[in-house]
Amino acid sequence: MLSSKIETALNKQLELEAYASFLYLSMASWSEHEGLEGTAKFFYRQSVEENDHMMRILHYMLDMDGAPIVPQIEKPPHTFSSVQKIFEDVYHHEQKVTKAINGIVELAIQENDHATHNFMQWYVQEQREEETLMRTILDKLKLIGEGAQSLYFIDKEMEEINQQIEKEEGAGEG
pLDDT in tens, 72-106: 999 999 999 988 899 999 999 999 999 999 999 99
Q: What does the alpha-carbon distance between residue 18 and residue 70 come to, in Å, rounded to a whole number?
A: 9
Q: What is the pLDDT of residue 103?
A: 98
Is 45 a domain residue?
yes
Q: CA nearest 74: which of 117, 129, 122, 15?
A: 15
CATH code, domain carrying 63: 1.20.1260.10
Q: CA nearest 68: which of 55, 51, 82?
A: 55
Q: What is the pLDDT of residue 126?
A: 95
Q: What is the pLDDT of residue 113?
A: 97
Is 25 a domain residue?
yes
Concatenated DSSP letters of 97-122: HHHHHHHHHHHHHHTT-HHHHHHHHH
pLDDT at 47 over 70: yes
Is 11 a domain residue?
yes
Q: What is the pLDDT of residue 174?
A: 57
Is 173 a domain residue?
no
Q: 53 and 17 in contact (C-beta within 8 Å)?
A: yes
Q: At a CB cut-off of 8 Å and minimum separation 6, what does 10 contact?
A: 2, 57, 60, 61, 66, 68, 104, 116
Is 19 a domain residue?
yes
Q: pTM for the whole thing?
A: 0.88
Q: What does the alpha-carbon distance between residue 46 and residue 107 come to, in Å, rounded to a whole number?
A: 27
Q: What is the pLDDT of residue 115?
A: 97
- Name the domain count of the chain: 1
Sign of the torsion angle spanned by Cα atoms 41, 43, 49, 52: negative
Is 147 a domain residue?
yes
